[in-house]
Structure 1
């Protein structure tokens, strides 16, 4: 059993303010995976103070981009060397299928490489030509680090979410307090060990598992300059309101209820496979899951039949099992939330094609949900409007392409989506009409060089690549005498 009696504060393992350790339990069978300290407000204060001092007085913000890039490259290499251990820990803590957490490791490298490439090419400082050729001055525009960053991430994809925030924050010279979910304490403490080994200066980064109340203490802290948050839209609204009171910089990557539009000419078998990997990966505990399936009326029954076969074929069970595609939900309250939504769908009059609110036989000791498919769903139903965050698919019929786009856009969210068609050029035309931050065509994966984020209630700001790097900087203009050359 893994035990962490200390907290990673300012680059050192420190004695926590509370000696009580929390049991980290498997969502598969409730066995204890480890025990670990959890941060309290006093620990947050120490971490923020260390970050503030490191930013105001330490070397990190004043190092060159090349020096910071070298440190991050060491971190990336260390993470690659521990890929198997990382995958196993996340699967054990979260209930994600082990094959999925292993397959996701190269993606973490691609994510990091996109940030590193952006940092190497970034316009850290530019001299502008005046619009008036005779002006006796020139303007130097530089990108300055924001300051102390509070990065707050969810449990469902911890390493990806952590790297999406700490890599650009560190590359741009900020200091960071990373607040992680208690469920991911073991894997995130492994990340802390790698950060210590990478060679960051004292105070630059802390990694603290903590509950929501302690997280709010971090958000409100007067010495935090920027909040970078991934999580629910409800929590994002609360954070935005708190940040607004202090005029803190904030970026929010929030929830989604994404639509997959299957056009009449699409290869249905390929689209069904697209649902498997675009809608149900990671137990469908994913903000980008395309769980609203929009099907043309002329092929509706065919698509529902194909989805029924798919959903019933999915292996459900121990996340370490070779045949497992769907593991347990991360916690009992999340399991109950998903089961409640299934009951809501039935009460709303949707047709239950397969699945239901019964826990899979033989898996009652874990937080399992039977993968569920609803048909004859109206987009006004709660199961079509609200983010369920579990393996529940709804199939909605549409009349023509305009109707499909209207339904896809009829949502408070706007994070992701997909279009399937035999004509990729036409699919691109449809994708341009969908009001979401990302749209995939025929199952193409989301890349890391372009910006990622949401429209509407799916968030503010963007992550990944050069755009994501820029969100951790402030523009500073310095005007000096003399003409630009």
Structure 2
């Protein structure tokens, strides 16, 4: 008998939903159907693929009222922010549909008399998308829509914590009348996922998750020569220069640190501030942080919900305690947030100063509502500290000097450089990382390159 999966809500610790994992027969049928359907789908004109995908986006948006409450129950995001994920879902999906004709167009070299030469973008086959719980619609759509637009079939393995999201995707494609077999939502355990990767039945795996899980994906794919896109998290830094618009920087960095309870791969987890403005920056940052309302995410007044589970909260509490033991200073009194309770998933936001890179909170991914702030004496010191990390997903520079931002951005080991914003994915730009933040890319026309293979035509028609 297959295993039963229980979705434990971070809201109250109770079982919110339960489902059985797919069994061997269901997995085999899905893989076979995906392969057969893709053979026909790749022959469909691009405008027909776009019509199906657009209809699925419309169908998903029609379910938004139910989705917002489901998100709160599944992963704890306050309902007042739930619709934002659906707006981002639509933005990314519509953009990737719109740019598909250009991104998938044949490459035409300079003409040579007597020859017809071009490079076509061929679909890979079946794409396995392994999606996380923290932004369950946004991370999944990054791969699902462009994979289908490129002529592939898709198998979605969503995080068990947000298993209802996978069902919503399946329902949206059902309402859009997507041809049978092209999309499958499978509830899988780790062993089943690894077995599918190792089977040779999928040609690309797009995974978002932890470094450890990414290594497991690599191990499962060994010797299969398949494509592997890995987005594995970050410890994203911000640098606030002396010429920054202080009010703008504070407002956006507080939001970038604590939105979604800090549970974002590109959340701001460490901040470096020019020492000339450091005291006033910290003062304003702490004042704004104290305005959060920690509580039940189903309450419209709540602006900070629980972490995904008590274990995640305890990890962050441990990082804070370790930093304090090494000399850091906490600027937020957790007692002013009544919902904060040791052993629970509810954790007050925390701002730490007097931190160093010897502390876990400045070195290891927190994935929670805590941020450390350090003063710096120069651009060079800031860049050295920003690069002192095993991660490199995004980094932000807060300044009114565009040339300085570009110059400093060239020196930062990161996938994305922001100026005067953070914690955002522009679908027109490649989402990628360096070091332990992963490899490969999604979004933009570059994202389509990872979902297709080049096929060259060298045709001599005059002899």
**TM-score range for the pair, normalised by the shorter chain length:** over 0.9
2:147 counterpart residue number: 169
Q: Does 1:450 align with 2:429?
A: yes
Query: Matched residues in 1 for 2:321 and 2:23: separation?
Result: 37
Contact 1:358 1:369 in 2 (8 A): no
Report the Cα offset of residue 425 of structure 1: 4.1
Across the aligned residues of Structure 1 and Structure 2, the Cα RMSD in angstroms comes to: 2.3
Instruction: Judge which range, 466-475 or 351-360, deviates more.
Output: 351-360
Q: Does 1:228 align with 2:206?
A: yes
Q: Pick from 267, 274, 280: which aligns with 2:245?
A: 267
Report the Cα offset of residue 31 of structure 1: 3.2
Report the Cα offset of residue 451 of structure 1: 0.8
2:73 counterpart residue number: 92
Q: Could you list the runs of 5+ residues in structure 1 that have no partner in the other structure?
A: 1-16
1:11 counterpart residue number: none
Relative to the length of structure 1, the TM-score reads: 0.89
Contact 2:341 2:347 in 1 (8 A): no
Relative to the length of structure 2, the TM-score reads: 0.93
Report the Cα offset of residue 127 of structure 1: 4.0
Contact 1:55 1:147 in 2 (8 A): yes
Summarize the Cα distance change of 1:201–1:305 in structure 2 as closer, same or farther, 3 Å threshold.
same
Query: Matched residues in 2 for 1:461 and 1:23: separation?
Result: 32
Offset from partner CA, 1:316-368 (integer Å, 9 cap, x none)? 11112222221111123222222222222223332222256999547568511
Query: Matched residues in 2 for 1:344 and 1:475: separation?
Result: 51
Query: Matched residues in 2 for 1:39 and 1:193: separation?
Result: 17
1:200 counterpart residue number: 178
Offset from partner CA, 1:79-105 (integer Å, 9 cap, x none)? 121122222211210001112221232
Contact 1:29 1:365 in 2 (8 A): no
Q: Does 1:30 align with 2:8?
A: no
Q: Pick from 150, 158, 161: which aligns with 1:180?
A: 158
Q: Pick from 411, 416, 431: which aligns with 2:409?
A: 431
Query: Matched residues in 2 for 1:33 and 1:100: separation?
Result: 20
Report the Cα offset of residue 223 of structure 1: 0.9
- Report the 3-state secondary structure (helix = DSSP H, G, I; strand = E; otherwise coil) of the residue aligned with 1:369: coil
2:255 counterpart residue number: 277
Instruction: Judge which range, 150-159 or 358-367, deviates more.
Output: 358-367
1:64 counterpart residue number: 45
Query: Matched residues in 1 for 2:41 and 2:6: separation?
Result: 35
Instruction: Judge which range, 170-179 or 228-237, deviates more.
Output: 228-237
Contact 1:251 1:462 in 2 (8 A): yes
Summarize the Cα distance change of 1:290–1:483 in structure 2 as closer, same or farther, 3 Å threshold.
farther
Q: Pick from 304, 319, 331: which aligns with 1:341?
A: 319
Q: Does 1:478 align with 2:457?
A: yes
Query: Matched residues in 2 for 1:410 and 1:389: separation?
Result: 18
Query: Matched residues in 2 for 1:247 and 1:348: separation?
Result: 46
Query: Matched residues in 1 for 2:388 and 2:404: separation?
Result: 21
- Report the 3-state secondary structure (helix = DSSP H, G, I; strand = E; otherwise coil) of the residue aligned with 2:132: coil
Instruction: Judge which range, 251-260 or 354-363, deviates more.
Output: 354-363
Q: Does 1:103 align with 2:81?
A: no
Q: Could you list the runs of 5+ residues in structure 2 that have no partner in the other structure?
A: none
Summarize the Cα distance change of 1:332–1:41 in structure 2 as closer, same or farther, 3 Å threshold.
farther
